[in-house]
A and B are shown apart, each in its own frame.
Chain A
């Protein structure tokens, strides 16, 4: 997995609460990424097996909206993400802090 800044932001957001499922707009808010950046990242993470997605099970007529797609880290994905972010953290320890950077959701969860 190539760790670009958007990927780091998404992984950080998901790792902050690993058991919580997130939908697209939710992740956009957490990561401050535009939709055009977020969805390709989500796709790459799914392709790598780090992320899985499921459709919300609701009755659209009752809820008044279509079902959303929810994302969560797989067990392997969570482990790999923690490890990758930890390695990145070691690599950038001596570098200057990245503005608006790798910890968009507050304290890192790894």
Chain B
């Protein structure tokens, strides 16, 4: 139901990009296809169908805009657009989560509040995978050559967008989050570099394993650094029987990323519910952004490396006009 509504919103946005005289027919045509996908419960396909129409640039005469030409332009457009789409995914997921929890779950069940983070995480992850599928296609036509250049080409726009968001939210918050952010940007760049190198040697499965495990470790380390930088382990001087600071026991540190995504301690004694609240309060934005960005970054580098291996030193497929 929610995915269909989201798809319909994206279709409305897509229709508005076409000339007025075509819109009614296109809306009718796309709604009919959407209806079939919804009836068959192919939710991901439905979102992909609508998202592709909403995100795809129209070709010349349709929008009256000059399309981006050439592999360099397409690569730049993809790499600049992808982080923005990642942020949009996080926002859209948050809105949907709030609607679902606030309008339905809170009044219907007693565990509505606990469902907030899992819902947000699941929807962000789902949409991030959709974005990754597009990124894989963009990556296969990448103009960037070499694993390091491709990794940097992806991570520089990501860094600018995420630092910008942190700064817009709070300059002080950016300073406090800086160690975690810098470590994530650095380590994920290295992970992408490694995954791209493996894919370039034809070891695609190894590239995915290395990329996924490495990206999880990079995100986990970043979350740990951010929490450690902001929440002490020691309660400080006891004044009147009360500790001066909220604390989080470091023993559960490796779990903090997953705890933030799920709002759950996996049945372990640590972190406690109060510690989970403190951790989530500090790193929730970063943790969800990492989840939105990582899949497309991995998909792009692996696809680009795979493509350059398939066509070593050759020109791209012929796309020239013969008319």
Chain A residues within CB distance 8 Å of chain B: 1-5, 23-25, 28, 34-37, 39-41, 43-44, 47, 64-69, 84, 87-88, 91-92, 95-96, 98-99, 101
Contacts and interface: CB of A to CB of B under 8 A. Distances in A.
Contacts of B55: 36
A37 B56 contact: yes
Contact of A99 (B25, B56, B317): B317
Contact of A23 (B33, B311, B321): B33
A92 B35 contact: no
B322 A87 contact: yes
Interface string B51-86: 011111011011000000000000000000000000
Interface of B: 14, 22, 25-26, 28-33, 35-37, 39, 48-50, 52-56, 58-59, 61-62, 134, 137, 310-311, 314, 317-319, 321-323
Contact of B319 (A5, A68, A91): A5
B52 A101 contact: no
B122 to A, nearest CB: 23
B53 A3 contact: no
Nearest to B317: A98
Contacts of A99: 310-311, 317
B313 to A, nearest CB: 11
Contacts, number: 87
List the 3 closest pairs (A to B, CB-CB), nearest first. A36-B56, A36-B52, A34-B52
A34 B56 contact: yes
B35 A65 contact: yes
Given A40-B58, A68-B32, A1 B323 contact: yes
17 contacts: A2-B321, A3-B322, A25-B36, A35-B53, A36-B14, A36-B52, A36-B53, A36-B54, A36-B56, A37-B52, A40-B58, A64-B39, A66-B32, A68-B33, A84-B322, A84-B323, A88-B322
A41 B317 CA distance: 18
A5 B317 contact: yes
Given A2-B323, A3-B323, A43-B62, A91 B318 contact: yes
B36 A69 contact: no
Contact of B39 (A36, A65, A84): A65
B290 to A, nearest CB: 26
A39 B26 contact: yes
